[in-house]
Amino acid sequence: MTIQLLQGDCLEHMKEIPDGSVDCAVIDPPYKIVAGGCRKVADNECSGIFNKRRDNKRTDWVDEVRTGKMFKHNDIKFSDWLPELFRVLKEKIHCYLMINSRNLKDLQVEAEKAGFKFQNLLIWDKGNVTPNRYYMQG
């Protein structure tokens, strides 16, 4: 068995991969998240890495989140890569895609358009994640 790992932009590398040559895909693609860690981006109410610095000056992250520049390289539609992924996978092979519940339906619709057959939904219970504002009592 030969394993080949490629590092780089998947949209570029997949063009070089022959049709039906990949045995399995495990993918954690970029997808839309809720305001990038800010409760009210317009009011600069950000938390975590988006919060103010220790010297109490606003960090440049807030501007990048507000303008959408922080994740500009992750602004990839599912339809941009799913057809290419389907092309490189062997027939009747497994493909595992990590996604949040907010984007699940869009991913499933685009995956089926590309030719994928939705088989099962697997839930990854991340039991030790840091709770966010939705799970913490105020």
Per-residue pLDDT tens over the stretch 8-27? 888 899 999 999 999 999 98
**pTM more than 0.75:** no
Q: State the first-to-last Cα distance of the chain, in angstroms, to the nearest integer.
A: 54
Whether the Cβ atoms of residue 24 and residue 94 lie closer than 8 Å to each other: yes
Domain boundaries, the chain: 9-33+75-118, 34-70
Q: Beta strand 22-27 with 89-97: parallel, antiparallel or unpaired?
A: parallel
- Span 28-73, pLDDT tens digits: 887 766 544 455 545 555 555 555 555 555 556 566 655 655 556 6
Phi, psi dihedral angles at 53 (to 5 degrees): -75, 170
- What pLDDT score does 63 carry? 64
Beta strands per DSSP E along 1-138: 22-27, 38-40, 45-46, 89-97
